[in-house]
Structure 1
Amino acid sequence: MRIRAASGVSLNDAVLALGDGPFSFVTAHANCFADTVLRKAHGLPDFIHGSTSCLGAMTDTGKTDGVAVFAIEDAQGAYGTGMASFDTGPRAAATAATQNALRQADRLGEQPELVWVSATPGTEEEIVQGIEDVTGSDIPIIGGSAADNSVSGDWYVFDGKGRETEGVIVSVLFPSRPISFAYQSGYSPTDKTGRVTSVDGRTLKEIDGKPAMDVYAEWTGYEVPLVPKGSGPEAILSASTLWPLGREINQLGQVPFFLLAHPAVAHESGEMEMFATVEEGEEITLMHGTKQSLVERAGRVASLARETGRLNEGPIAGALMIYCGGCMLSVQDSIPEVVNGVNTALGSAPFLGAFTFGEQGTLIKAGNRHGNLMISCIVFG
C-alpha cells in the first residue's frame, strides 16, 4: 500500500499534484467556492469521494484554502464509492450509495472493513441507519458532514462527475493492510446538567421545563448571550463552540464518554437549533473546552488511533482525519500547530484533514454515532 496527499487551488490542480496512478481510492475535500470539476484523470478510479470542507482542508504540508486530495494505491485491496441524492429520503439514499459502492468494489454481499461517509448536514442519524441497513451495525462508519464557510448552505458532495447539494457519498474500504481509528472530543464536563423536556427534531425547546436558551445562557455565565427582544434568530455557532452540550453515551473504566451537540441558532422564544439530534428525556451536560485543548487534541487522537491498532511501533502509510469546522474556526490562527501535532503523532506520514459540520464515528459499546465538535482519525498501516 502506498498513500499520497496533495493540495491545489482546484480539484484538477490537486489531482495533478498527486502524480500518476493507478490509484485504488481517492477522497477530496474542498472549499465550497473552489473549482471541483475534474478535467484530467491520471490513473483515478471511476469515482472519487468528494465533499466540501470549511475554508479548505489540511494535509501534512499545511492548510490549503482550495482543495486537498488523498490517494491510496493498493492493488491487493478493494475500494468502491457511490453517491445518491435525498430524493427518496436520506436513509434510502445512504442505502443506495452503500450498495453502489460495494458494487463498484465488486464486493456485493460482503462487509467492508470500514465505511467512509460524507453527507450534506441535517439528517446524519438517518444516514448512519441507511448504511447499517446494508453493512450491519458492527462495521465502523467514520466521516464528516459537508461544510461551507459561513453556515449558509453552500455545501455539497461530489464524485468527480457531478455533485449533490442534498445528498450523501459513501466509500467502502477493503484495504490489504491493517487500519485503526479513534473518535473523540477535546471537551470536559461541567457541573451544569439538566433534562430535555421538549424537543422537535434538532430544535431543543426546553431544559427542565424552562426555555432551553434561557437555561443554556445562564449555564455559560452568558458567554453565549440571550437573543435581544424583537430580534430575529441569531447564529451562535461561534460563541457556543467552547460550550457544547454533551450526552453521556458510555464509560471506559470510570471515565464517562460524552457525545456532543453543537448549538447553532438561538431564538427569542428560547428555542435552540442544534447540529445534532437530542431526545426528550435525555440528560444533557454543559461541556467546556479551551482553544489550547482543541489545538492539541488532533495530535492526541492521531496517537490514540495508532495505539489502538498497535500501529505505533513502525512507520505507517498515511491517515485520514476529520476535524470539526467549528473547532477549526475557533483555532484558525493556530492551524499550523494543529498540523505539527498531527505530523508528530503520525511520523510525518501523508494525511488529509477535512473541516466538517458534523462528525460520524464509532464508540466502544455504543456503535456508530453522529456528534458535533468531534475529531476522528483513521490510520493505515
Structure 2
Amino acid sequence: MLNVKTGKSINPNAAAAGKEAAAQVKADLSDMKVAFVYSGVQYNQKELLKAISDELPGVPLIGNTSFTGVVTPEGFISGDDGFVGIMSMSDKDLTVGVAGMPKEGTARETGHKLAEKALKAAGKTEAPAYFYMSAPSGEEEYYLKGITEVIGRVPFFGGTAADNTITGEWLLYTDEMVTAEGVSVAFFYTDKPFANKFTGAYNETDKAGVITKICGDRTLAEIDGKPALDQYREWTGASAEDVAGGNLLSYAICHPLAVKDRLGDLAAIRHPMNGNDDGSMAIGNNLAVGTAVVLMEATVDEIIESVGKTLEDLKKKMNGSIAALHLVHCGGRRAGIDSRINEVYDQVKAHADGIPFIMEFTFGEYGYEDDGNNTCGGLMLSFTAFGK
C-alpha cells in the first residue's frame, strides 16, 4: 500500500522551514522511499535540505525551486521570505533510485551518466516502470536523450526548475546535490498503476504554418518564409508593442504556438518568450525546420478551468485507486492567472476529492500521451497519478 503525506512551511528561516515541513510527513518514515521537495529561491537550499534530511534520515530527496509558491491540500503556499512543500511516498514494496549531478560534458552525456547512477542507487540493472526528471531551462531535451540511451523509452514526468523573477536564480537538487546547471532523476520500480496526463489544454485555431528557418534550437526565425513575428502578429492581431522584447512572454500566455506529435495525440506547446529586433522569436523549447506550428488560444478563465478538467481526464486513465497526485503546472500559466491563483487551488481540491497532492510551478513541463515519445513543453500541465 502506497502511503503519501504532504507538509509545508513559510517560516523565513530555511532550516526551521525544512524541519517544520518534514515533521508533518515523518509518520511513515520506516517505509519512506522518496520525498519530493519544492521551495522558494529565497531560501539557502543546502540549509533547507539538511534540515529535512535530519528529520527524514536516509530518505532520498528530489525537487527544485518553484515559481512563487506550491499548492498542497492546505492551499496555495507562498511567502515573501520563502516557502516549501513536501510530498513523501512510503511503501515497503516500492524501490526508488534517486540521483543528481551537475552538468559534465554535454547535456546528453550528463543524462547518460546520471541514468547509470540512478540504476546503481536503486540496486537495479533493468529499466524502471517510470521516472521523474528535473532540469534547468535550456537543454531539457538533451538530458532526456542521454537518459533514454541507458533505459530506453520509459514513461516520465517532471518539470524545469523555476525562480520568482525569470532571472536564472533557479536551482534543482537532491539530498546530496544542489546545482543550477545539471539534472536529477528518480527511477520508480513498482507494479502499482501509474498514469500521466500531459496537455496544454488550449484551443487549436485554424492558423498554422511550416517552420522554414530556425537559429540554434530555440529561435524561430521564419514561418512559411516570413519573419516569425510578422506571421504571429498576422495570426493574432497583436501590436508591435505586444510582441516587442519580453512583452511577448506575457502576451503569448493566452496565444502560444504548438507542434503536434506524429499521430496528432499531443499538441506540445511552444511558448514564444521574446520578440527580437530581426523579426525572430525566442521559444521555450526545441524546434525543427519542416514541421508545422499551430496557433493555440485560451482565456484566463479557460486556463484556470483546465486544471479540473485535466484532473478528471487523469483519473479516467488510471486502472485502480489513486494514492497521490503529483501536479506540474506551468509558471507562465500561473503568471497569467495572477491574483486568481486560489481558484486553481479550488479546482484541485474539488477534483482531487481527498487524494493527497502537491503542485509545483515550473518553467517547462515533461510528460507523454498515449504511445508517443516523452516530450518537453512549456505552458503545459503534466499531471501524474500514483496507484495505491
Q: Same fold (TM over 0.5)?
A: yes
- CA distance in 1 between counterparts of 2:365 and 2:274 reads 19
Q: 2:66 aligned with 1:53, yes or no?
A: yes
Checking the alignment, whether the CA contact within 8 Å between 1:324 and 1:375 is kept in structure 2 is yes
Q: 1:19 aligns with which of 22, 26, 30?
A: 26
Match of 1:197 in 2: 212
Match of 1:177 in 2: 192
Q: 1:325 aligns with which of 320, 331, 334?
A: 331
Q: 2:229 aligned with 1:213, yes or no?
A: yes
Shift of 1:356: 0.7
Match of 2:274 in 1: 265
Shift of 1:262: 0.1
Shift of 1:245: 0.6
- CA distance in 2 between counterparts of 1:164 and 1:294 reads 32
Shift of 1:76: 1.2
Between the two proteins, what is the percent identity of the paired residues?
Answer: 27
Shift of 1:4: 0.5
Q: How many residues align?
A: 369
Instruction: Report the residue type matching 2:205 in the other structure.
Output: T
Match of 2:50 in 1: 39
- CA distance in 2 between counterparts of 1:344 and 1:227 reads 37
SS of 1:237 mapped into structure 2? helix
Structure 2 residues without counterparts, runs of 5 or longer? 11-16
Checking the alignment, whether the CA contact within 8 Å between 1:247 and 1:260 is kept in structure 2 is yes
Checking the alignment, whether the CA contact within 8 Å between 2:241 and 2:247 is kept in structure 1 is no
Match of 2:284 in 1: 275
Q: Which has the larger helix fraction?
A: 2
Which 4+ runs in 1 deviate beyond 6 A? Answer: none
Shift of 1:199: 0.1
Instruction: Report the residue type matching 1:281 in the other structure.
Output: G
Q: 2:135 aligned with 1:135, yes or no?
A: no
Match of 1:304 in 2: 313
Shift of 1:145: 0.5
Shift of 1:173: 0.9
> Closer, same or farther in 2 for the Cα pair 1:101/1:17, shift >3 Å?
same
SS of 1:39 mapped into structure 2? helix
- CA distance in 2 between counterparts of 1:305 and 1:190 reads 24
Question: How far does the alpha carbon of each residue in 1:102-144 deviate from its partner, in whole angstroms, 9 at most, with x for none?
Answer: 211212x11111110110010111122111111101x101111
Question: How far does the alpha carbon of each residue in 1:171-213 deviate from its partner, in whole angstroms, 9 at most, with x for none?
Answer: 0111353222211112011122111111021011111112111
Structure 1 residues without counterparts, runs of 5 or longer? none
Shift of 1:46: 4.7
Question: How far does the alpha carbon of each residue in 1:317-358 deviate from its partner, in whole angstroms, 9 at most, with x for none?
Answer: 211011011001111322222222222222221101111111
> Closer, same or farther in 2 for the Cα pair 1:224/1:251, shift >3 Å?
farther
> Closer, same or farther in 2 for the Cα pair 1:79/1:99, shift >3 Å?
same
- CA distance in 2 between counterparts of 1:272 and 1:301 reads 29
Checking the alignment, whether the CA contact within 8 Å between 1:2 and 1:73 is kept in structure 2 is yes
- CA distance in 1 between counterparts of 2:152 and 2:191 reads 21
| Alignment TM-score, normalising by the size of structure 2 | 0.90
- CA distance in 2 between counterparts of 1:215 and 1:87 reads 39
